[in-house]
Amino acid sequence: MKTAKERFLEKVDKNGSNGCWNWNGCCFRDGYGQFNRQGESSLAHRFSYELFKGLIPEGLCVCHTCDNRRCVNPDHLWLGTHKENTRDAIVKGRLTSVGRQGSKNYCSKLTEEIVKEARKEHANGMSIVDLARKYGVTGTPMRRAIYHMTWKMAENGE
């Protein structure tokens, strides 16, 4: 019977670009490798960290220096808090919406032009509910845009 380490290494290609060890086994939907140990699915990069570097303290993430979700090279893995991992993703441009403002945020349904127009219409008496309906959003993002909680772009006269 093979050990967990032997089964794990059978699914690793150590010839990836940039020194990555690419996981060739099953993957979760988000692209991270999936390794089955003792009847439970775990993240392959976390298993690799434990296998080659030791236990992962509770509450810490196993982060990638290479930003390759399939990489399980222990030399590319580091421990960090969720906040540190998020900061790393923002700095490296991997998060598409965090830190992006206005229409550069892929989740946004509004544009700078719509927000400017909606602010004028609200100043002229149109309700936030009616504006939200008009522009196809719910009341919360419209209220936040109207009251400059979001969409803090520079505008003449505002």
- What three-state secondary structure class fits 113? helix
Cα–Cα dist 128/98, whole Å: 25
Contact 68, 22 (CB under 8 A): yes
Question: According to the model, what pLDDT value does residue 158 have?
Answer: 43
Sequential pLDDT tens for the chain (158 residues): 899 999 999 999 999 889 999 999 999 888 899 999 888 899 999 999 999 999 999 999 999 999 999 999 999 999 999 999 988 887 887 765 555 567 666 567 888 899 999 999 999 999 999 999 999 988 888 998 999 888 776 454 44
